[in-house]
Amino acid sequence: MALLAIFAELEAAVADGIVERYAVGGAVGATFYIEPAATQHVDVFVVFDQAASRLVSLAPIYDYFTKRGAVVQNEHLVIAEWPVQFLPAATPLVDDALVHAVRMTVDGQAVAVLSQEHLAAIALETGRMKDKIRLSQFLASGTFERLRFDSLTERFGLTEKWARFVALMEDQT
């Protein structure tokens, strides 16, 4: 499976000190918890040492993976035939999501994935139609920790967006 090869590359980047932490997010991350939804790329959130510069640069990551065979394609690095987008932790919510990422194993391959409550909060924060659909699927998943999600919406200033989402859902039913 190509995705396993990507997970192995991400683990290697941590072992080689290129990134401090990473976690898979987006539709691929959501697939760990809910039904799969077609996607064309893999979102990977990363934390790396920014002590040397106030500017966030993904250059070390690009250098590392291109030396290992990845190809740059617009804003993606193509690894194992999948476009992979590396996203620095740009908001406090994403930063918290990376701290609380979940370690999983798929067919013997380790991988870090954002928790479903953080994925849901990020979906709420992002707010596109596909994010709202994903959020409704998380809420119905049966394993979703609602109290944890509520705590995130309060801590990261998402209560208004949550109220609007609830109103939208009530209009639909």
Partner 1 sequence: MKFSMDEALRMKRASRVAMTATPIAEKLRILERLRERDRAIRRAVIALDQRPTRDASA
Query: Which residues of this protein are in contact with partner 1, per CB under 8 A?
Result: 1-4, 27-28, 31-40, 82, 104, 106-107, 137, 140-142
Rounded to a whole number of angstroms, the minimum distance from the CB of residue 108 to partner 1 is: 10
Rounded to a whole number of angstroms, the minimum distance from the CB of residue 15 to partner 1 is: 22
Asked if residues 34 and 119 have their Cβ atoms less than 8 Å apart, the reply is no
Nearer to partner 1, 7 or 165 (CB): 7
Nearer to partner 1, 27 or 70 (CB): 27
Nearest to 119, CA basis, from 10, 43, 13: 43
Rounded to a whole number of angstroms, the minimum distance from the CB of residue 5 to partner 1 is: 11
Instruction: Report the Cα–Cα distance between both ends of the chain, in Å, rounded.
Output: 39
What residue ranges in the chain does DSSP mark as E strands? 21-25, 42-47, 71-73, 76-79, 82-88, 102-106, 109-113
* Helices vs. strands in the chain: H and E counts, helices first: 8, 7
Nearer to partner 1, 32 or 62 (CB): 32
Nearer to partner 1, 33 or 64 (CB): 33
Rounded to a whole number of angstroms, the minimum distance from the CB of residue 84 to partner 1 is: 13
